[in-house]
């Protein structure tokens, strides 16, 4: 059976969702993400990339168009497009979806991301854990079950963009108010920036580590996987040594 084919019961179908729009990330990010999922997720699953350009993406990935959100032109990119994953009907997909940012590095098993209890699961914010805000690099939900997230945003777009800095802050607040927001176990989805880079000044002689218990390492803010491999940060006076372990996992 094709990896894109759904099991007999669509309600039990598993989908990996990712999004790629614009030119920040090339097709190699999607291709490597698929390869990492295939190595670490047992059994059948569908892999869907919502994108405005499917050129160069491997054939195992089902490329589907990004539904329109009709945001005002010229506003800062704050991840609002991710809210489209909560469409009432997302290209007819049914079942459980695990959304992954294209720049994550998967290092261990994913099976429990589909079995861990909870209606909606997301990473808890690393920097300010006293807030309800989640990091939407990794979240799981039932397709079509939270269409009110998107409907409310469409109806109050300007107000919500003024109130919330980005999509994950709005999403977390909305589902928290409904009592549906839950978090992954803390060790599963560490941050490369906060948990992998050694503290100053040891970052000058110690390479970044793979945090214990990590399953999906999140790259945000200063580095993406190629930067980590090369020992690069995009902030002046911040130094890292090459993270050799990234090469073992971030590959096709």
pLDDT at 187 (0 to 100): 97
Which residues face 245 on adjacent strands?
A: none
pLDDT at 76 (0 to 100): 73
**For 46-101, what is the HEC assignment?**
EEEEEECCCCCCCCCCEEEECCCCCCCCCCCCCCHHHHHHHCCCCCCCCCEEEEEC
pLDDT at 29 (0 to 100): 98
pLDDT at 167 (0 to 100): 96
CATH architecture of 10-183: Alpha-Beta Complex (3.90)
Residue-wise pLDDT for 11-66, tens only, equals 479 999 999 999 999 999 999 999 999 999 999 999 999 999 999 999 999 999 99
pLDDT at 30 (0 to 100): 98
Contact 232, 223 (CB under 8 A): yes
Chunked in runs of 10, what are the mean pLDDT values of the chain (252 residues)? 40 90 95 98 98 97 94 80 97 97 98 98 89 96 98 95 95 98 97 94 95 96 92 81 97 95
Query: Residue 161: how many CB atoms within 10 A of its CB?
Result: 19
Comparing CA positions, the residue from 240, 161, 137 lying closest to residue 193 is 240
For the chain, what are the domain ranges? 10-183, 192-249
Contact 240, 197 (CB under 8 A): yes
% of the chain at pLDDT higher than 90: 84
Give residues with Cβ within 8 angstroms of 204, minimum separation 6: 239, 241
């Amino acid at each position: 059976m094709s990896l894109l084919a759904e099991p007999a019961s669509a309600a039990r179908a598993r989908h990996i969702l990712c999004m790629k729009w614009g030119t920040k990330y090339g097709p190699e990010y999607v291709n490597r993400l698929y390869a990492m999922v295939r190595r670490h997720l047992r059994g059948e699953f569908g892999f869907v990339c919502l994108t405005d350009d499917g050129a160069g993406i491997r054939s195992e990935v089902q490329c589907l168009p990004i539904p329109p959100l009709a945001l005002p032109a010229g506003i800062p990119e704050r991840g609002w497009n991710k809210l489209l994953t909560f469409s009432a009907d997302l290209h007819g997909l049914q079942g459980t979806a695990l959304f992954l940012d294209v720049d994550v590095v998967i290092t261990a098993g994913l099976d429990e991301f589909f079995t861990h209890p909870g209606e909606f699961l997301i990473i808890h914010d690393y920097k300010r854990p006293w807030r309800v805000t989640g990091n939407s690099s990794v979240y799981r939900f039932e397709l079509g079950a939270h269409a009110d997230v998107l409907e409310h945003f469409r109806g109050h777009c300007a107000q919500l963009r003024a109130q919330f800095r980005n999509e994950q802050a709005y999403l977390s607040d909305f589902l928290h108010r409904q009592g549906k927001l839950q978090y992954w176990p803390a060790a599963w989805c560490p941050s490369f920036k906060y948990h992998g880079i050694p503290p100053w000044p040891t970052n000058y002689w110690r390479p970044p580590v793979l945090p214990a218990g990590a399953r999906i390492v999140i790259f945000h803010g200063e580095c993406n996987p190629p930067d980590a491999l090369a020992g690069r940060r995009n902030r002046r006076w911040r130094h890292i040594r090459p993270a050799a372990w990234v090469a073992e996992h971030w590959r096709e």
